[in-house]
Amino acid sequence: MTYEPHGKHLIAGAWVGSDDTFASQPVSGPAHHTANGGAAEVDAACQAAEEAFWTYGYSTRAERAAFLNAIADEIEERGDQITDIGTRETGLPEARLQGERGRTTGQLRLFASHILDGAYLDQRHDAALPDRAPLPRPDLKMVQRPIGPVAVFGASNFPLAFSTAGGDTASALAAGCPVVVKGHPAHPGTGEIVAEAIKAAIEKTGMPAGVFSLIQGNTNDLSAALVNHPLINAVGFTGSLGAGRALFDMCAARPTPIPFFGELGSVNPMFLLPSTMSERGAEMAAGWAGSLTMGVGQFCTNPGVVVAIDSPETDAFIAAATEALSAVGAQTMLTEGIANAFRAGRDRIAGTKGVREVLTSTCDLRNATPYLFATTGAEWLANHALGHEVFGPLGLIVRVADADEMRAVARSLDGQLTCTLMMQDDDTDLARALMPVLERKAGRVLVNGYPTGVEVCDAMVHGGPYPASTNFGATSVGTLAIRRFLRPVCYQNLPDALLPTDLT
């Protein structure tokens, strides 16, 4: 079923246009013109969000759970239309978008269940001790409370699961925080139809209209206006290191600084240990090639770097990976900008001293083909830039001299979303030596798997030390994500009539 966008913002329950517009750049079908927001639209949305907070921030968990489930229902009701506009705008295959839609609705339902359970509130009570000497103790109660309106930036590579109704929005709404989304200009129609679903859920459940707004636009001024608005209390962002760092600095420079929860970049290194290389090198090469090129390498957990000890088995691994990657044809990237950045990254790696080209080809426009390069541990350690992310299907194999140099490479890493150990029982001693390093470097450590699958559940951590994310104590996936948009409040000697309902 074809969906034709109307190209407007959703602000406080109303669809609002503007004279200034930008044209989408779909992979197929006609371009559509979408309203380009600015400071006026940001102020209207933020004012509405602040007003909504006085109701929504004090709603019951049951009411918010019903709202989240209603959003999921409305998204599912529009499933075919979402897939239609999503494939046209992004070039992602139908199956990928259908799966991502399921992840999006699953996140919403997971948070609905999570808040009903109530454990996230971390309630604490120290009863009064009036007879304690030398001083009495007052009655103290603590609970997590929502922080207020939150800004969310849609991501280019996940038009559903990390965008309009994605994980940041779901966790903020679950916490009791109204949300203002800055839609990603790569898929404005997809963002619009999901916003229609949220609007329908607002009306169905009787939530205040300002609890959610979507502002479309493709200018840096719009982003700056949203981050700097005094009524915004936190920002959720998934995107490039350059853009994310600029927004992070804005958040810190505000008269009242606010937290910036940004997921910015990671090369997700895989350490292939000697015994497993001997036993299943060809199998790992095929698996790595598949993970590296999945979704044209446009995943934040794309495993772009392999570290292996120099040996004939490593030669065989490289040969098998080259063969597997050679069979992968050109694929369409999400945007022209991403494709251009991928080629620039390729050229940067290829032009680095000590890097050998293993597999190269020609790609143009929005098309991308796999690239494979190899270097030594010594060259890696001498050139920090080799550890910078190239967003796309590009792999770099680092051949280290021995286990000591492997540990040195691990210690040289910037913060990562993931680090992976491919190992067998005979590799346990080396793996044990690497573990203290890897757990300091990454938010998730894997054994004998590929990091491109991120399960949405209680135990998942999708974050890590900078630049993987800007707040190492947070995650953007899983139920712990809700804690980003809460703060603890202590109530001393308050009568029950004044306490939040979650404490009575």
Active site residues: 263, 300
Of 479, 354, 1, 191, nearest to 199 by C-alpha is 191
Kindly state the tokens that stand for 168. 């940041």
Q: Find, among 400, 464, 332, 283, the residue nearest to 27 by Cα.
A: 332
Q: Are 67 and 86 in contact (CB under 8 A)?
A: no
CA distance 250 to 151: 13
Write 109-112 long-range contacts (CB < 8 A, 24+).
Answer: 109/68, 109/69, 109/72, 110/456, 110/457, 110/479, 111/68, 111/170, 111/171, 111/173, 111/174, 111/479, 111/482, 112/64, 112/65, 112/66, 112/68, 112/69, 112/72, 112/174
Task: Give the DSSP letter of residue 19.
Answer: S
Element (H or E) spanning 424, and its range? none
Using DSSP's 3-state secondary structure scheme, residue 255 falls into coil
- What phi and psi, each to the nearest 5 degrees, are found at residue 232? -85, 130
Task: Provide the strand spans (E) within 47-146.
Answer: 124-126, 140-146
Give the DSSP H/E element, type plus range, for residue 64. helix 61-77
Q: Give me 76's structure tokens.
A: 């599912």
145, amino acid identity = R
Between helix 188-205 and helix 61-77 the angle, nearest 10°, is: 130
Mapped onto helix, strand or coil, the DSSP state of residue 261 is: strand
Long-range contacts of 238-245, Cβ-Cβ distance < 8 Å, separation of 24 or more:
238/153, 238/155, 238/157, 238/158, 238/162, 238/168, 238/262, 238/263, 238/300, 238/476, 239/153, 239/155, 239/156, 239/263, 239/264, 240/264, 240/265, 240/341, 240/391, 241/265, 241/389, 241/467, 244/470, 245/467
User: Bridge partners of 469?
Assistant: 263
Instruction: Dump the DSSP string for 274-331.
Output: HHHHHHHHHHHHHHHHHHHHGGGG-STT---EEEEESSHHHHHHHHHHHHHHHT---E
Spatial distance between the Cα atoms of 201 and 397, rounded to a whole number of angstroms: 49
Is residue 213 within 8 A of residue 180, CB to CB? The reply is yes
Measured from the Cβ of residue 347, the count of other Cβ atoms closer than 10 Å reads 11
d(CA 137, CA 188): 56
